[in-house]
Amino acid sequence: MTLRSSVTATVEADRVVFEYVVENVGNDPAELTFRSAQTADFAVLEDGEEVWRASEGQMFAQMIQNETIDAGDGETFPGEWDDPSPGDYTVVATLNTTDDDAEARADFSV
């Protein structure tokens, strides 16, 4: 399984919108097995310290779910951070899979 991932952060008036894209750049389908109903997570770091996490305080159904990403295809996972304080940040996006966890990072400013 050969996955490539990227994340973007779009700053809006009262929130930051994240888009996490995971692409299968291999020649075979990629079988992803998710640990729960949570498929992806976003953490925001300021000076290396976590200041926000999308999954914090959330509950997710405890179920195994599978998804296939065909060769050359991708999957997009959205997220958003409401009411961020001004500053310079890094978003870290991760898959919640039992296998090869993909991760992507991007810097942004509010």
CB neighbours of 68 closer than 8 A, spacing ≥ 6?
29, 30, 31, 32
Q: Which residue has the tokens 């890094």?
A: 90
Write out the residue range of the structural domain in which residue 43 sits: 3-109
12-33 pLDDT, tens digit per residue, is: 999 999 999 999 999 999 998 8
* Residue of higher predicted confidence among 39 and 52: 52
58-104 pLDDT, tens digit per residue, is: 888 788 888 899 999 999 999 999 999 999 999 999 998 887 668 89
CB neighbours of 107 closer than 8 A, spacing ≥ 6?
88, 89, 90
* Residue of higher predicted confidence among 99 and 43: 43
58-70 pLDDT, tens digit per residue, is: 888 788 888 899 9
**Measured distance CA(18)–CA(10) in Å, rounded:** 6
Of the pLDDT bands very low, low, confident and very high (cuts 50, 70, 90), residue 38 is confident
Q: How large is the greatest C-alpha to C-alpha distance in the chain, in angstroms?
A: 43
CATH number of the domain that 35 lies in?
A: 2.60.40.2360
What confidence score (pLDDT) does residue 24 get? 94
3-state class (DSSP) for residue 70: coil
- Total domains in the chain come to 1
